[in-house]
Amino acid sequence: MRYTVGYTADGRGHDAVCLAVALARRQGASLDLVLVAPERSAYSGSHPSDSGFDDLLSGQLHTWMDQGLALVPEDVPARGEVVRAESDAEGLIRAAEDAGASLIVIGASAAGPGSRYSVGNVARGLLPASPAPGAPAPRSPRRPAPVPRLTCAVGRRAGADDVVSVAVTSARRRGLPLRLVALLALDAGREGAGAGGEAHRRLADAASSLAAGGQVSVETARGTSVEEAIDALAWDEGEVLLVGSSRLAQHMRIFLGSTAARILRALTVPMVVVPRTYESPGTGTGTAALQTQEGV
């Protein structure tokens, strides 16, 4: 299993590598550090046209790549790759597709202080078009912590089954406890508590049918807003949250709905956004082991 990591030689790139390392360790995944360099357009009208800049740039890219690979600890296999593309998002997606990556990790922190997450430009460009789950990395602690637990959050809307099944598969493969959370923002008004009970029941059903015997817990998080509901949850250090993409997304694509965007702002742990109708990491390639798991 391979993870594509969008690397830039700055704080964000560092965040992305740290998160990718943490996620990859339990999963036995290998990392592809991808540096995207701009494609030189002959039509840019720059004067005089000089191919020489490319030489200086590729020298710099190689130095950056060495620094990036040096961030990855010995026990996680990693390799570097320089991709030419018009935008960072396009380059990362192409690299992920070529490698058959099951996750794209990118740095998403904003330059300024404030919330740990603010979806950066690259993340904003990448997430809507990503064919694989995307993990926007928050500003990292110094050392990547191991992942102690997975949490999967679903809202009131239907269509959460995809993300729940991805969460269950991932948790089982990693041997991690799974927490299923129904997020309820009460400012939405009339549907209120009744809907909460209904969502909780659905999750409980899902939990029992999908993961019999596993360590699965079910919680309901309430708050006057999504942000508050998120704040109300207790988080373990290094825990990872899985959320589904909006129903507005195309098949196999992520659409960061308003709820997911708000979750992202309030969150203090890493998050993975799963594309709509995305089945499960690796099932697209049809390996026998994974199919067996799906069959359970």
Partner 1 sequence: MSTRRTDREGTGLSRKGLSSGTVGLLGAVVIGVSCVAPAYTLTAALGPTVAEVGTQLPAIFLVGFIPMLLVALGYRELNSAMPDSGTSFTWATRAFGPWIGWMGGWGLIAATVIVLSNLAAVAVDFFYLLLSQLLGNPAIAELTRNLPLNIATTLVFIALACYISYRGMETTKTVQYVLVTFQLVVLAWFAVAAFVHVADGTAFDATSISADWFNPFAVGSFSAFAAGVSLSIFIYWGWDVTLTMNEETTDPERTPGRAGALTVVVIVLVYLAVALATISFAGVGDGDLGAGNPDNQESIFAVLAGPVMGPFAILMSMAVLSSSAASLQSTFVSPARTLLAMGHYRALPEGYGRISPRHKSPGFATVAAALAAAGFYVLTRLVSENALWDTITALGLMICFYYGITALACVWYFRAQAFTSIRNVAFRFLAPLCGGVILLVMFVKTAVDSMDPGYGSGSELFGVGMVFVLGIGVILLGVVLMLVWSRLNPAFFRQEVITRGAASGR
Residues that bind partner 1 (CB under 8 A): 8-10, 12-13, 37-39, 41-53, 55-58, 60-62, 64-65, 69, 72, 74-85
> At its nearest, how many Å lie between partner 1 and the CB of residue 7?
10
Taking the least distance from each CB to partner 1, the nearer of 76 and 184 is 76
> At its nearest, how many Å lie between partner 1 and the CB of residue 59?
9
Taking the least distance from each CB to partner 1, the nearer of 23 and 168 is 23
Taking the least distance from each CB to partner 1, the nearer of 22 and 185 is 22
Asked if 29 and 74 touch (Cβ cutoff 8 Å), the reply is: no
Q: Please compute, for residue 21, the number of CA atoms within 13 A of its CA located in the half-sphere on the CB side.
A: 24
> At its nearest, how many Å lie between partner 1 and the CB of residue 64?
7
**Residue linked to tokens 């807003």:** 225
> At its nearest, how many Å lie between partner 1 and the CB of residue 104?
17
**Other C-beta atoms lying within 10 Å of the C-beta of residue 142:** 6
Residue 118 and residue 110: Cα distance in Å, rounded?
6
> At its nearest, how many Å lie between partner 1 and the CB of residue 54?
8
Distinct helix (H) and strand (E) counts, the chain = 9, 10
Residue 15 and residue 238: Cα distance in Å, rounded?
13
User: For residue 244, what are its two tokens?
Assistant: 């589904």
Taking the least distance from each CB to partner 1, the nearer of 55 and 294 is 55
Q: What are phi and psi of 6, to 5 degrees?
A: -75, 110
Residue 108 and residue 117: Cα distance in Å, rounded?
6
- Dihedral sign for Cα 140, 240, 181, 188, please: positive
Taking the least distance from each CB to partner 1, the nearer of 58 and 208 is 58
Taking the least distance from each CB to partner 1, the nearer of 82 and 207 is 82
Residue 67 and residue 57: Cα distance in Å, rounded?
15
Using DSSP's 3-state secondary structure scheme, residue 61 falls into helix
Taking the least distance from each CB to partner 1, the nearer of 38 and 192 is 38
Q: Please compute, for residue 105, the number of CA atoms within 13 A of its CA located in the half-sphere on the CB side.
A: 30
Taking the least distance from each CB to partner 1, the nearer of 79 and 222 is 79
> At its nearest, how many Å lie between partner 1 and the CB of residue 42?
4
> At its nearest, how many Å lie between partner 1 and the CB of residue 287?
22
User: For residue 14, what are its two tokens?
Assistant: 């560092």
Residue 137 and residue 269: Cα distance in Å, rounded?
9
Q: Where are the beta strands (DSSP E) in the chain?
A: 2-6, 30-38, 78-85, 103-107, 134-137, 150-154, 178-185, 216-223, 240-244, 271-274
> At its nearest, how many Å lie between partner 1 and the CB of residue 48?
6
